[in-house]
Amino acid sequence: MTTKDTTTKEVKEKAATKAPKAVKAVARYIEAVGRRKTSTARVRITESPKESVVVNDKDVPTYFPTADLQNIIAEAIEKSKVAGKFAITVKVLGGGIHSQAEAIRHGISRALVTFDEETRKRLKKLGFLKRDPRMKERRKFGLKKARKAPQWSKR
């Protein structure tokens, strides 16, 4: 054996005798994307004994001031009958506040179906799994809006 072989062998033996590093327990989460109009919501659900919903690092009543918008988000959780089981974090971009709420509901529904397939029938019947494709129509040349024409004048 050469000196190079012995040093490599010694390094391997030292590495084998080292204590293994402590492994962190990483929380398992399920991620899903929800969309509505031009809004996109990235939703992560994590199993937790305490239910919480955080949207763009704010709690729901702060981000969505009206009860109507808060109910839209809570619908998917209540109807799937898994209330109080998950901590939900959401990053939402684009669109208006109402379409953001519906995008979040779509994302939460998709994540819950990934977690438990039995909720699929219930959520599909309510229409929470279908992406609402309606978007604003583009403006056409010569018109004021998508279809509104300027006032017609005979002369």
pLDDT (tens digit per residue) in 31-79: 999 999 999 999 999 888 888 889 999 999 999 999 999 999 988 888 8
Max mean pLDDT among 12-21, 70-79, 135-144 falls in: 135-144
Tokens describing residue 8:
């490599």
40 closest CA partner among 102, 94, 81, 87: 94
Query: If residue 13 lies in a helix (H) or strand (E), which one and from where to where?
Result: helix 3-17
- 30-126 fold: Ribosomal Protein S5; domain 2 (3.30.230)
78 closest CA partner among 128, 37, 114, 117: 128
Please tell me the distance from the alpha carbon of residue 45 to that of residue 79, in angstroms, as a whole number.
16
CB 138 within 8 A of CB 144: no
As a whole number, mean pLDDT of residues 4-29 equals 60
Indicate the pTM of the whole model: 0.75
Confidence of residue 15 (pLDDT cuts 50, 70, 90): low
CB 96 within 8 A of CB 36: no
